Amino acid sequence: MSVNVESVPRDQAEKLRQLMAGREERRPRLLGRPGQLLAEPEKAPRTRVLTVASGKGGVGKTNLVVNLGIALAQRGLRVGILDADLGLANIDIVLGMVPPYNLVHVLRGEKALTEIMVRGPEGVQVFAGGSGVYELANVAQWHLDRFIAGLRELDGEMDICLIDTGAGVGRQVMSFVDAAQEAVIITTPEPTAVTDAYGLVKMLSLHNQEATVRIVVNMVESQAEGKAVFERLRAVSHRFLGLDIEYLGSVERDGVVAKAVRDQRPFMISNPHSRAAQAIQRLADVLTARPPARPQGLGGIFQKMLRLSR
């Protein structure tokens, strides 16, 4: 539309100018200088990213990520799950599906993000990290720009993304945890698991004091046991690290979990009334009750990881 601003009365012309200016501002600025990460429009929607990790392996991260993802999807959220556990990537086992491509293919420009996604139960979109995170530092800037732009597009299509990062304080896990806006750390009541969870919280506190850190105690005998484990962790984290961690909740030890793994059918679907499923629903309640004011976004977490890797 072309408007001859000079031919209309002055106040009207001013109004038109403002209108046109507003329209310009809302248009996403997609073209950056070469080598410059693409500028993000001010109010663009962003995915809420939950980085899930544990100090010790085998504490129930993958089962939690999958079933919590399903619980959130059942509430009408558009959910993504990023399997970023290099060592024991086993979302495929829990879900009985194997994403054929991963972030490495996206970073190399061979696949689009949407092409590496596999649709799971309740429409949860599952995608795999592969060694993509290790490769970030070695990828040509041109590919990185395109990758970040792709993630920003995804930010508009996904409300929440759970990242299963794996166990321990190795580089792969810490790169996600250090860049996280919201970290969820899983432990069991077992002393070795709690010690390792504290070790992970300690590493996080060195680089990422701004993160919201929430604890899940899995395989508890009772909710009271879980709360007591959390309170001990909270006290030492506050005293020795100056970090205030939050309680997300506890999940009881429940035979339906192992059965669900054997059947490759998540217990949220096969046993929605089990103790474990009800506990997962409570975790979803707590999470949805307190979203961050401005979610980090998938573009945001990867950009921060890139910044930290340089």
Ligand X SMILES: Nc1ncnc2c1ncn2[C@@H]1O[C@H](COP(=O)(O)OP(=O)(O)O)[C@@H](O)[C@H]1O
Among 28, 38, 57, 281, binds ligand X (CB under 6 A): 57
Residue 257 touches which of ligand X, Mg ion, none (Cβ within 5-8 Å per kind): ligand X
**Smallest separation, CB 223 to ligand X (Å):** 13
Phi-psi map region of 166: left, alpha, beta (phi>0 left; psi -120 to 50 alpha) = left
CB 50 within 8 A of CB 160: yes
**Smallest separation, CB 69 to ligand X (Å):** 13
219 binds ligand X, rule: CB under 6 A: yes
CB 128 within 8 A of CB 89: yes
Nearest to 105 by CA among 87, 129, 141, 85: 129
62 binds Mg ion, rule: CB under 5 A: yes
Question: Strands, DSSP E only, in 55-140?
Answer: 79-83, 118-119, 125-128
61 or 214: whose CB is closer to ligand X?
61
265 binds ligand X, rule: CB under 6 A: no
Query: What's 153-168 look like in SS3?
Result: HHHCCCCEEEEEEEEC
Residue 170 touches which of Mg ion, ligand X, none (Cβ within 5-8 Å per kind): none
**Smallest separation, CB 153 to ligand X (Å):** 29
User: What stretch of H or E contains 51?
Assistant: strand 48-54
**Smallest separation, CB 3 to Mg ion (Å):** 59
The DSSP letter of residue 122 is G
Binding mask 231-260 vs ligand X (x if CB under 6 A, - otherwise)? Answer: --------------------x-xx--xx--
Question: Strands, DSSP E only, in 84-201?
Answer: 118-119, 125-128, 160-167, 182-187
Residues binding ligand X: number (CB under 6 A): 19
67 binds Mg ion, rule: CB under 5 A: no
Contacting positions for ligand X (CB under 6 A): 54, 57-63, 88, 90, 218-219, 251, 253-254, 257-258, 261, 276
